[in-house]
A and B are shown apart, each in its own frame.
Chain A
Amino acid sequence: MLEIKDLHAGIDGNEILKGINLTVNKGEIHAIMGPNGSGKSTLAKVLAGHPAYQVTKGEVLYEGKDLLALAPDERARSGIFMAFQYPIEVPGVSNAQFLRLAYNEKRKHLGEEELDPLEFKDLLKERAKVVEMDASFMTRSVNDGFSGGEKKRNEILQMAVLEPKLAVLDETDSGLDIDALRIVAGGVNQLHNANNAVILVTHYQRLLDYIVPQFVHVLANGRIAKEGGKELALELEQKGYDWLKAAPDSNGAGAGVN
Chain B
Amino acid sequence: MSTAELLSQQEYKYGFVTDIESDVIPRGLTEDTIRLIVAKKNEPDWMLEFRLKAYRHWLTMTEPKHWPNISYPDINYQDVIYYSAPKRKASLASLDEVDPELLRTFEKLGIPLTEQKQLANVAVDAVFDSVSVATTYKEKLKKHGVIFCSFTEAIRDYPDLVKKYLGSVVPTNDNFFAALNSAVFSDGSFCFIPKGVRCPMELSTYFRINNSESGQFERTLIIAEEGSHVSYLEGCTAPKFDKNQLHAAVVELVALDDAQIKYSTVQNWYAGDEEGVGGIYNFVTKRGKCAGRNSKISWTQVETGSAITWKYPSCILQGDNSIGEFYSVALTNHAQQADTGTKMIHLGKNTRSTIISKGIAAGKSNNSYRGLVKVMPKAEGARNYTQCDSMLIGSNSGANTFPYIEVMNNSSSVEHEASTSKISEEQLFYLQQRGISQEDAVSLIINGFCKDVFLQLPMEFAVEAQRLLGLKLEGSVG
Residues of chain A whose beta carbon lies under 8 Å from any beta carbon of chain B: 48-52, 71-73, 75-77, 81-82, 84, 87-88, 90-93, 98, 101-102, 105-106, 109, 141, 158, 162
Report whether B434 and A88 are in contact in the complex, using a CB–CB cutoff of 8 Å.
no
A72 surroundings in chain B (CB, below 8 A): 429, 432-433
Q: Does B430 contact A (CB under 8 A)?
A: yes
Report whether B434 and A93 are in contact in the complex, using a CB–CB cutoff of 8 Å.
no
Mask, B430-441, CB within 8 Å of A = 1, is 111111111010
Closest to A161 in B: B434
Report whether A88 and B430 are in contact in the complex, using a CB–CB cutoff of 8 Å.
yes
Q: Does B221 contact A (CB under 8 A)?
A: no
| Candidate in B426, B431, B438, B452 with the most chain A CB atoms within 10 angstroms | B431
Could you tell me the distance between the alpha carbons of A141 and B448 in the complex, rounded to whole angstroms?
A: 9
Could you tell me the distance between the alpha carbons of A50 and B431 in the complex, rounded to whole angstroms?
A: 11
Report whether B435 and A77 are in contact in the complex, using a CB–CB cutoff of 8 Å.
yes
Distance of A9 from chain B, by nearest CB (Å): 16
Could you tell me the distance between the alpha carbons of A42 and B440 in the complex, rounded to whole angstroms?
A: 26
CB-CB under 8 A for A98 and B434, given A92-B447, A93-B445, A93-B447 = yes
Report whether B430 and A101 are in contact in the complex, using a CB–CB cutoff of 8 Å.
no
Q: Does B415 contact A (CB under 8 A)?
A: no
Could you tell me the distance between the alpha carbons of A36 and B347 in the complex, rounded to whole angstroms?
A: 63
Q: Contact check: which of A50, A52, A101 meets B440 at CB < 8 Å?
A: A101
Closest to A79 in B: B435
A50-B429, A92-B450, A93-B448 given; name 19 further pairs at CB < 8 Å.
A48-B429, A73-B433, A73-B435, A76-B435, A76-B436, A77-B435, A84-B430, A88-B426, A90-B444, A92-B448, A93-B444, A93-B445, A98-B444, A101-B436, A101-B440, A105-B434, A105-B440, A162-B434, A162-B435
Closest to A158 in B: B434
CB-CB under 8 A for A90 and B435, given A98-B444, A101-B444, A141-B448 = no
Q: Does B427 contact A (CB under 8 A)?
A: yes
A90 surroundings in chain B (CB, below 8 A): 427, 430-431, 444-445, 448
B452 surroundings in chain A (CB, below 8 A): 92
Residues of chain B whose beta carbon lies under 8 Å from any beta carbon of chain A: 424-427, 429-438, 440, 444-445, 447-452
Could you tell me the distance between the alpha carbons of A117 and B379 in the complex, rounded to whole angstroms?
A: 46
A162 surroundings in chain B (CB, below 8 A): 434-435
Distance of B3 from chain A, by nearest CB (Å): 14
Could you tell me the distance between the alpha carbons of A98 and B443 in the complex, rounded to whole angstroms?
A: 12
Q: Contact check: which of B433, B448, B451 meets A82 at CB < 8 Å?
A: B433
Report whether A105 and B445 are in contact in the complex, using a CB–CB cutoff of 8 Å.
no
CB-CB under 8 A for A92 and B449, given A51-B425, A101-B444 = yes
Report whether A52 and B425 are in contact in the complex, using a CB–CB cutoff of 8 Å.
yes
Closest to A142 in B: B448
Distance of B197 from chain A, by nearest CB (Å): 35
Could you tell me the distance between the alpha carbons of A49 and B433 in the complex, rounded to whole angstroms?
A: 8
Q: List 24 A-B contacts (CB under 8 A).
A: A48-B433, A51-B429, A52-B425, A71-B432, A72-B429, A72-B432, A73-B432, A73-B436, A73-B438, A76-B435, A81-B433, A84-B433, A90-B445, A91-B449, A92-B448, A92-B451, A92-B452, A93-B445, A93-B451, A98-B431, A105-B435, A141-B448, A158-B434, A162-B435
Could you tell me the distance between the alpha carbons of A98 and B433 in the complex, rounded to whole angstroms?
A: 12
Closest to B449 in A: A92
Distance of A140 from chain B, by nearest CB (Å): 12
Closest to A144 in B: B448
CB-CB under 8 A for A102 and B427, given A90-B448, A92-B448 = no
Could you tell me the distance between the alpha carbons of A73 and B441 in the complex, rounded to whole angstroms?
A: 10
The 6 closest A-B pairs by CB, nearest first: A92-B448, A93-B448, A76-B435, A102-B434, A88-B430, A92-B451
Main secondary structure of the interface of B (DSSP, over half): helix
B435 surroundings in chain A (CB, below 8 A): 73, 76-77, 102, 105-106, 109, 162
Distance of B392 from chain A, by nearest CB (Å): 15
Closest to A104 in B: B435
Distance of A92 from chain B, by nearest CB (Å): 3
B424 surroundings in chain A (CB, below 8 A): 88
A98 surroundings in chain B (CB, below 8 A): 431, 434, 444
Could you tell me the distance between the alpha carbons of A72 and B438 in the complex, rounded to whole angstroms?
A: 9
A52 surroundings in chain B (CB, below 8 A): 425
A91 surroundings in chain B (CB, below 8 A): 448-449
Could you tell me the distance between the alpha carbons of A87 and B426 in the complex, rounded to whole angstroms?
A: 9
Could you tell me the distance between the alpha carbons of A75 and B433 in the complex, rounded to whole angstroms?
A: 8
A106 surroundings in chain B (CB, below 8 A): 435
Could you tell me the distance between the alpha carbons of A73 and B424 in the complex, rounded to whole angstroms?
A: 16
Distance of B387 from chain A, by nearest CB (Å): 13
Could you tell me the distance between the alpha carbons of A93 and B433 in the complex, rounded to whole angstroms?
A: 16
| Candidate in B426, B437, B448 with the most chain A CB atoms within 10 angstroms | B448
Closest to B478 in A: A51
Distance of B439 from chain A, by nearest CB (Å): 10
Distance of B463 from chain A, by nearest CB (Å): 14
| Candidate in A52, A81, A88, A162 with the most chain B CB atoms within 10 angstroms | A88
B440 surroundings in chain A (CB, below 8 A): 101, 105
B447 surroundings in chain A (CB, below 8 A): 92-93
Could you tell me the distance between the alpha carbons of A84 and B429 in the complex, rounded to whole angstroms?
A: 11
A76 surroundings in chain B (CB, below 8 A): 432-436
Could you tell me the distance between the alpha carbons of A141 and B435 in the complex, rounded to whole angstroms?
A: 18
B438 surroundings in chain A (CB, below 8 A): 71, 73
A102 surroundings in chain B (CB, below 8 A): 431, 434-436
Closest to A88 in B: B430
B437 surroundings in chain A (CB, below 8 A): 73, 105
Distance of B51 from chain A, by nearest CB (Å): 46
Closest to A141 in B: B448
B430 surroundings in chain A (CB, below 8 A): 84, 87-88, 90
Closest to B424 in A: A88
Closest to A73 in B: B432
Could you tell me the distance between the alpha carbons of A52 and B425 in the complex, rounded to whole angstroms?
A: 9
Closest to B419 in A: A91
B451 surroundings in chain A (CB, below 8 A): 92-93
Could you tell me the distance between the alpha carbons of A105 and B433 in the complex, rounded to whole angstroms?
A: 11
A48 surroundings in chain B (CB, below 8 A): 429, 433
B429 surroundings in chain A (CB, below 8 A): 48, 50-51, 72
